[in-house]
């Protein structure tokens, strides 16, 4: 049982995930309450790091803020907890679970990829970036959702994290270019399929562009499939929620296909109705 003050700090973290990721919140809000609260706190940390880099502040200000986050985290490990809701919840999380500090360092390091952005040259480089910013989230969560096997599931967490990040990238091609002038599609694949920056700027979706998109989508789907092979190694009280999260995210790819690959002008998402269908189908399959 949490005291009232701590409960309020976790409520703040819950609002962060609820406002910023409906798919994650749909899945993880049905974890046992104690575990769900931890996920909210971890999400708030990652969101905070992400928001620093994606803000409209100058490069110097964003770099200083990211360095401050890194310094605060190292100080936090030595018992110096900043008095904000996120850090107060993190202190509670680190007291209750054997958290991997390197996962948080990896996340922060990954944010520097975006701060000093360079388009990935290859799928390998894209996966390296995704490993930092997304697999790191899985590593953070392993001690909570795989309490007995967390030290043996890094590859599974990596597969799911990278698959989800590639899904994000395929969903947000247009938005990333319009908002941040970032292109995450590998340079070698763009050359192979004769895609250039102007086509993205002019919203030109061609058969070649769709072929490139499908190469990356299939790479993500292979990782989703590999992850599902290890699902029974996760805690019984968390499997259903993890499956829902993975299936909802994977469904984004099918939504884009169903919308005629309109990934440059709109942000495709899984409707509440389809999320509910996935929840009900998953509930039947894990009985």
Average pLDDT over residues 184-207: 98
pLDDT surpassing 70 at residue 287: no
Name the domain count of the chain: 1
Distance in angstroms (rounded) separating the CA atoms of residues 88 and 105: 18
User: What pLDDT does residue 41 have?
Assistant: 98
Instruction: Give me the pLDDT at residue 23, please.
Output: 84
Per residue in 48-77, pLDDT (tens digit) is 999 999 999 999 999 999 999 999 999 999
In order of 42, 55, 95, 162, 227, the CA distances from 79 in angstroms are 18, 29, 11, 32, 35
d(CA 198, CA 196): 6
- Whether 3 shows a pLDDT value over 70: the answer reads no
| 62: CB partners within 8 A, 6+ apart | 52, 53, 55, 115
Q: Residue 85 pLDDT > 90, yes or no?
A: yes
**pLDDT of 232-258, one tens digit each?**
999 999 999 999 999 999 999 999 999
- What is the pLDDT at residue 4? 67
The tokens for 190 are: 């763009």
- What average pLDDT does this structure show over 262-283? 92
Cα dist from 86 to 48, 80, 100, 129, whole Å: 9, 14, 17, 25
Q: Which residue range forms the structural domain that includes residue 167? A: 4-285
Residue 98 in this model has a pLDDT that exceeds 70:
yes
pLDDT of 35 strictly over 90: yes
CATH number at residue 28: 1.10.600.10
Instruction: Provide the percentage of residues in the chain whose pLDDT is more than 90.
Output: 93
Please determine, for residue 2, whether its predicted confidence score (pLDDT) is greater than 90. no
pLDDT at 1 over 60: no
Q: What is the mean pLDDT of residues 2-15?
A: 90
Q: Quote the mean pLDDT of the chain.
A: 96
Whether the CB-CB separation of 248 and 26 falls below 8 Å is answered with: yes
| Separation CA 217–CA 224 (nearest Å) | 10
């Amino acid at each position: 049982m949490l005291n009232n003050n701590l409960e309020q700090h976790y409520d703040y973290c819950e609002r962060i995930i609820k406002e910023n990721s409906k798919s994650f919140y749909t899945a993880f809000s049905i974890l046992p309450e104690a575990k769900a609260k931890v996920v909210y706190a971890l999400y708030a940390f990652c969101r905070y790091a992400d928001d620093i880099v994606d803000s409209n502040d100058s490069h110097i200000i964003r770099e200083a803020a990211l360095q401050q986050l890194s310094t605060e985290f190292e100080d936090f490990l030595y018992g110096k907890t900043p008095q904000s809701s996120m850090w107060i919840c993190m202190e509670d999380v680190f007291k209750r679970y054997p958290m991997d500090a390197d996962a948080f360092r990896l996340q922060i390091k990954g944010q520097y990829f975006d701060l000093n952005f360079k388009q990935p040259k290859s799928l390998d480089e894209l996966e390296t970036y995704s490993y930092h910013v997304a697999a790191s989230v899985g590593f953070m969560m392993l001690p909570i959702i795989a309490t007995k096997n967390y030290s043996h599931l890094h590859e599974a967490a990596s597969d799911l994290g990278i698959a989800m990040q590639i899904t994000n990238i395929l969903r947000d091609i247009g938005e990333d270019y319009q908002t941040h002038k970032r292109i995450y599609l590998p340079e070698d694949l763009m050359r192979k399929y004769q895609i250039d920056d102007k086509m993205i700027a002019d919203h030109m979706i061609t058969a070649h562009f769709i072929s490139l998109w499908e190469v990356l989508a299939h790479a993500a789907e292979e990782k989703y499939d590999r992850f599902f092979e290890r699902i029974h190694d996760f805690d019984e009280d968390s499997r259903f929620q993890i499956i829902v999260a993975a299936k909802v995210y994977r469904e984004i790819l099918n939504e884009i296909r169903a919308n005629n690959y309109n990934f440059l002008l709109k942000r495709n998402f899984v409707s509440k109705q389809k999320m509910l269908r996935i929840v009900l189908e998953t509930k039947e399959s894990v009985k």
